[in-house]
Structure 1
């Protein structure tokens, strides 16, 4: 429970203080090499089902009324996932390299990668007793040894706060739009 509270407070600080959020970005930003790079990031966002991140950001946000909250979720329901990927791809291409986007898209399209995404958005909390070690499936052990995967997963983990931040900014834009 303390971890959940700490994570919630930490996320709220990121959204309240953009200067702090910017400091969490990697120091070596990826150079956008063109439309192919943006398309690679867009494909990654689709493989990651990032529209669910947007819904999570909306769920954690505060609203003036329940009606406003319902209106925001209604807009999200009407917004196709491809629009979310397109609108987030360009700003995230500044912090996600084309190599990372390609490698992680490949991973998330494997059967094991699909399980990882499903568990990320659909699993409840898991309790581990002291002394227990998590069981690592053989598929994951094999992936963890690939140098390209190791590098890409680290880069993606490093930019996770930026993905949340851009999702929040997109949520604000969608909320201001008519429709």
Structure 2
């Protein structure tokens, strides 16, 4: 058993050595849809609708909860400002920057998905439910129509694009949180 552990550790060091020897490559920038032109009003509206369906204001509260504050009073002040900020304003303010990384087609397809009963269930599980115990090998039970829906080419493509845009969504949410925190309310 010791031999196997030592072998695995030795191989991991050998395989990891080239990664430490070479300088780290700069991360690839998130590709903007098609061209780097300003998104149209319809495109921004589609992204805003997607953010509404995703209940992105709850994501903003999650970002605030994970942030570090100098004191408990500062944390309470930030959450008080978030409570006073309407969800529609959060969606409006995030839609412009996120339209650079989320295509109109993806926004439309994922908005449609999040408005289905299964999509609403996923959003509720993401934001409104308590932590759940997940055992290895467990898979969610999907209705046959949901399985078919999730195999559609448009959904698969849009889901991948939205997953790829997730770091940008988190970054923009954090920046918006900072702006809201600086505002006088």
TM-score for both structures, normalised by structure 1: 0.82
Aligned equivalent of 1:42:
48
* Structure holding more helix per residue: 1
Could you give the per-residue CA deviations for residues 12-49 of structure 1, whole angstroms, max 9, x where no partner exists?
xxxxxxxxxx94653x3124441000000000000000
**In 1, Cα distance between equivalents of 2:49 and 2:150:** 22
RMSD (CA atoms)? 1.6
**In 1, Cα distance between equivalents of 2:180 and 2:173:** 10
**In 2, Cα distance between equivalents of 1:142 and 1:25:** 33
Aligned equivalent of 2:105:
99
CA shift at 1:82, angstroms? 0.2
Aligned equivalent of 1:15:
none
**In 2, Cα distance between equivalents of 1:73 and 1:169:** 15
1:151 aligns with 2:154: no
Structure number with higher relative contact order (C-alpha < 8 Å, ≥ 6 residues apart): 1
* Structure 2: tracts of 5 or more residues without a match: 1-25
Which one has the largest radius of gyration? 2
- Give the aligned length: 155
**In 1, Cα distance between equivalents of 2:157 and 2:41:** 23
Aligned equivalent of 2:32:
29
Q: Please, which of 60, 63, 82 is the counterpart of residue 57 of structure 1?
A: 63
**Could you say what secondary structure the match of 2:68 adopts?**
coil
> Which 4+ runs in 1 deviate beyond 2 A?
22-26
Stretch of structure 1 that moved more, 72-81 or 113-122: 113-122
